[in-house]
Structure 1
Amino acid sequence: MSHAYGFSWRAFIGFQASWFALIYWQYLALLPVALYAAYAIWRLPTKGQLAVIAVFVLGVVVDSLLVASNIIQFVGSNGLPLWFVLIWLVFAIAAVEFMAAMLKPIWLAVLLAGVGGPLSYFSGAKLSQHLLLFPQNEISWLVLIAVWSVIGVVLGQTRSLYVPVN
């Protein structure tokens, strides 16, 4: 199946709708979001699918380390809840399909990811009725900014590994 990497409305809307559904309804949204994710991954070429898996694993490992370090915390869970793990999968799809293209310049990757990532956690915490907590307050925010800045740079700089050069 051929795939043109660039801006994808399906990927943009799919990510936004999935993120909102998982944050707001958590476990009730698992099946529809999992079906969307399976469809989106199926549409990607093999290198894109492998990139999604790599970003997904990276994200789950990073956030698991943040939970273990008490930077973030989930009410009623000692680790990452399944609905949050699924957010990483739909993020990985969106990152591979269109987000990483915007993150090629390092300064822009640091800016966009360093602001956008932590804001996503903050707004997610508010919408989920505070199921996500930041136990170390300002330190939690500084760590999230630093971590997401690095994630943005990695996404932007590794895009050439799975996108064909024209």
Structure 2
Amino acid sequence: MSSATTLKLLNFLLFQAGWLACVLLTNSWALLIATGVLAFHLTVVSARPAAEARFILLGIVLGSLVDGLWFRSGVMQDGTGSAWTPLWLMAIWALFMTTLAHSLAWMHQRIWLPFVLAPVAGPFAYLAASKLDAVTLPEGTLSLAALAVGWLVIFPLLMAIQKRYFPETLT
């Protein structure tokens, strides 16, 4: 296995571990674990940590705005009744953003791919989180449809922003 492949696999595993910690804990421990995973990623996996950190910050803001819309509109809820994106979910956005430069970088090769995969994969992650009691999707299928529309917009947008403004982060 090449070094690049090893780093992409490590990125994938770090994201999965961080996602699971955030979804299971949904508290300050989740933030601490996610911060550790992110720091490890930026020091060990990332070839351009400063640029990738800026891209991650932008993704946290944009992803949190989209999720905030779902919390405000009642499409999604968490156990605290938060009217905005909880910190543990912002941490997941940070972790997810690392995958765009590494384990999901292959999606940049086909412009149509994010439009096909994102509306399925994005809502599936929230559905999985709901099965682990991190969030609820009170409107069921309607909630999943709204999440699919959000992911149909946000994922290709993030990829376009990365390709245009942060191309050095792509490995």
Alignment TM-score, normalising by the size of structure 1: 0.83
Does 2:115 match 1:114? Answer: no
* Equivalent residue for 2:65, pick from 61, 68, 76: 61
Partner of residue 25, structure 2: 25
Deviation at 1:100, TM superposition (A): 4.2
Partner of residue 47, structure 1: 51
* Structure 2 counterparts to residues 136-151 of structure 1, below 5 A: 136-151=139-154
* Structure 2 counterparts to residues 53-132 of structure 1, below 5 A: 53-78=57-82, 79-127=84-132, 130-132=133-135
Partner of residue 134, structure 1: 137
Deviation at 1:156, TM superposition (A): 2.9
Alignment TM-score, normalising by the size of structure 2: 0.81
Change (3 A) 1:47 1:6: farther
**Percent pairwise identity:** 28
Does 2:129 match 1:158? Answer: no
Count the aligned residue pairs: 161
**Structure 2 residue runs without a partner (length 5+):** none
Deviation at 1:44, TM superposition (A): 4.8
**Structure 1 residue runs without a partner (length 5+):** none
Change (3 A) 1:33 1:83: same
The CA distance in 1 between the partners of 2:111 and 2:9, in whole Å, is: 25
CA deviations on 1:68-120 (whole Å, 9 max, x unpaired) are 11111112232322222211111112223332431453321111111100000
The CA distance in 2 between the partners of 1:119 and 1:41, in whole Å, is: 27
